[in-house]
């Protein structure tokens, strides 16, 4: 994947109410409806993925099992600490730099 930059804004007041949370909630709700209607049996993540793919065909569902997570843990253990990240509400990249900001007003003053 190649991209020239990104901007990510985080607000504690909207935590859990973003687009990704809505997609996850909708998917779980529709899978639950299939289970209640006895059209599917879901007992674990492996069972969940194909049912989710069927009931929300416009969403790509990818199973990630514990073994997959364990493989990536090695990479996370090598990640460096980022000073000031707990105060950051905006993370923005440009070229080869990543800047952290405490608010929209501070976009000219990175942490």
Cα 83 vs. chain centroid, distance in angstroms?
A: 22
Using CA atoms, how far apart are residues 7 and 16, in angstroms rounded to an integer? Answer: 19
Neighbours of 77 (CB within 10 A): 7
**Six-digit token pair at 100?**
């952290």
The more confident residue out of 34 and 87 is: 34
- Taking residues 93-102, report their average pLDDT: 73
The more confident residue out of 42 and 76 is: 42
Q: State the Rg of the chain over Cα.
A: 19
- Say if pTM beats, i.e. exceeds, 0.75: no
The more confident residue out of 55 and 83 is: 55
């Amino acid at each position: 994947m190649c991209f020239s930059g990104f901007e990510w804004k985080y607000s504690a007041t909207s935590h859990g109410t973003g687009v990704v949370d809505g997609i996850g909630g909708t998917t779980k709700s529709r899978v639950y409806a299939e289970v209640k209607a006895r059209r599917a049996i879901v007992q674990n993540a492996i069972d969940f993925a194909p049912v989710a793919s069927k009931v929300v065909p416009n969403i790509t569902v990818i199973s990630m099992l514990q073994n997959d997570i364990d493989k990536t843990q090695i990479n996370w253990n090598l990640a460096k600490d980022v000073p000031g990240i707990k105060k950051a509400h905006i993370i923005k990249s440009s070229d080869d730099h990543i800047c952290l900001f405490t608010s929209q007003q501070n976009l000219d003053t990175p942490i």
